[in-house]
Chains A and B, each alone.
Chain A
Amino acid sequence: MNKKKQIKELLLNNAVIILMIASAVIVGILRPKFLSATNLRNLIANTSVRFIIALGISGVLIMRNNDLSAGRQVGFAACITATLLQTADYAQKVFPDLPQLPIWLVLLFLMAGFSIIGIVNGLVVSVLHVPAFIATLGTQTIVYGICLVFTGSQPIGGLRSDYTAVASGSLFDIVFIPYLGIIALLLGIFMWFLYNKTVYGKYMYAIGGNGNAAEVSGINTVAMTVKSYMLASALFALAGFLLGGKAGGTSASLGSGYELQAIAGCTIGGVSVNGGIGTVGGILAGVMVFELLKITMQFMGVTTAYTYIVQGIVIVIAIALDIRKYVAKK
């Protein structure tokens, strides 16, 4: 292959990332504030939470399933956290007699509690054989309803400063190293290890690649499906915990539509919705590209209606490029 063709292939294979970087450079020139440390921090913080949600969904997607309840679970987790971590002197405290709980205890309780939602999702999908799309759509609505009852449809504020500091603070007070980014990075390393170096990961890809072959080979597909949904829900709880602190207050509407953004990030990052394919690095790239796109559009003042059109086009470009790679290889 000559050099010209090699450059063309390189450009085409990474067209979405190049397009996003080009957009960011142009926006950076037109709006100098775009390249500020504060904006970089926002990008990292926003990407971190979405990355955690996307990691949760990725395991389910790789196993040919889906989880449409992600966003509502994130919102519900944020609301529960907020009610448990309100300041003692806040006038509208949801549980006035509740003592000051350690933050780590609330997080553990949350992740353990939400794993139960994951178990229910997993059992409905794997034992009752309800299509994942329908099963998790039901969970989405139920969780949202419970969240509305729990919060009384009211926003929750008065969060403790030690809680909000976890989500809005930075390491050594360096603006562009938020704790959120460090948490997401550590989680990314853990998930990479889980996906690539453990039996769980190998089984997950095996089931996604060929479920029947995996089952015949002795893999307990029911247990694996339940585990993948459990892990996803635990990660949604963590994301909700961090998002609530980042926002400084919550309401039942928090997290709405996040599942679609996470699925879009996964798709751009190369996770196949047909199962069996997906890497942690790809998911991070996909989520970051999507966040970068949103921030560039915000800075340019693009109207909301057009932001949806542009985001949709980027997803279609990512899929078209993937098909092109395959046709060129043939």
Chain B
Amino acid sequence: MWQRNKKAERQTLKEKQAEFIAKKEEYYDKLLESVPLSVKALDIIIALLILAFIAFFVIGALKGNSVI
């Protein structure tokens, strides 16, 4: 049966226990293992995505305004 442990609660509040800090990095590590990406490669991907953002925004606006 679970019992409340007030001392442990206070301890948890005081300390940022390392093992409880989320490991998003672990997930990214797995991704980078299968697809090794450098900073430069990611910069290119982000630049392409920003270009796609601008392109679809402009095309959508032109279509919406019956320009094309």
Residues of A within 8 A of B (CB): 12, 15, 19, 23, 198-199, 202-203, 205-206, 208-210, 213-214, 217-218, 220, 223, 272, 274-277, 297, 300-303, 305-307, 309-310, 313-314, 316-317, 320-321, 323-324, 326-328
Contacts and interface: CB of A to CB of B under 8 A. Distances in A.
Interface in B1-47: 2-3, 5, 8-9, 12-13, 17, 19-25, 27-28, 31-32, 37-39, 42-43, 45-46
Given A199-B9, A206-B12, A320-B42, 20 more contacts: A19-B50, A199-B12, A202-B12, A205-B22, A210-B20, A218-B8, A272-B24, A276-B21, A276-B23, A276-B24, A277-B24, A302-B64, A306-B59, A307-B60, A310-B53, A320-B49, A323-B32, A323-B37, A324-B39, A327-B37
Contacts of B9: 199
Report the 8 A-B pairs with minimum CB-CB distance, sorted nearest first: A276-B22, A306-B60, A302-B60, A301-B64, A206-B20, A324-B42, A300-B61, A209-B22
A214 B21 CA distance: 11
A156 B3 CA distance: 48
Nearest to B9: A199
18 contacts: A198-B13, A205-B22, A206-B12, A209-B22, A210-B20, A220-B2, A272-B24, A275-B22, A297-B61, A302-B60, A306-B57, A306-B63, A313-B56, A317-B46, A317-B50, A320-B42, A327-B37, A327-B42
Contact of A324 (B5, B21, B46): B46
Given A209-B19, A214-B20, A327-B38, A320 B57 contact: no
Most A CB within 10 A of own CB, among B21, B32, B37, B60: B60
Given A218-B8, A303-B64, A202 B13 contact: yes
A300 B52 CA distance: 17
A49 B65 CA distance: 30
A210 to B, nearest CB: 6
Nearest to B57: A310
A217 to B, nearest CB: 7
Most B CB within 10 A of own CB, among A218, A277, A297, A321: A218
A12 B45 CA distance: 12
A308 to B, nearest CB: 10
Contacts of B20: 205-206, 209-210, 213-214, 276
B21 to A, nearest CB: 6
Interface residues of B, number: 38
Contacts of B19: 209-210, 213
Contact of B12 (A12, A203, A220): A203
A323 B9 CA distance: 34
B39 to A, nearest CB: 5
Interface of B: 2-3, 5, 8-9, 12-13, 17, 19-25, 27-28, 31-32, 37-39, 42-43, 45-46, 49-50, 52-53, 56-57, 59-61, 63-65
Contacts of A297: 57, 60-61
B59 A301 contact: no
A251 B66 CA distance: 32
A272 B22 contact: yes
A199 B2 contact: no
B62 to A, nearest CB: 9
B23 to A, nearest CB: 7
A317 B49 contact: yes
B68 to A, nearest CB: 11
A214 B9 CA distance: 12
A223 B4 CA distance: 12
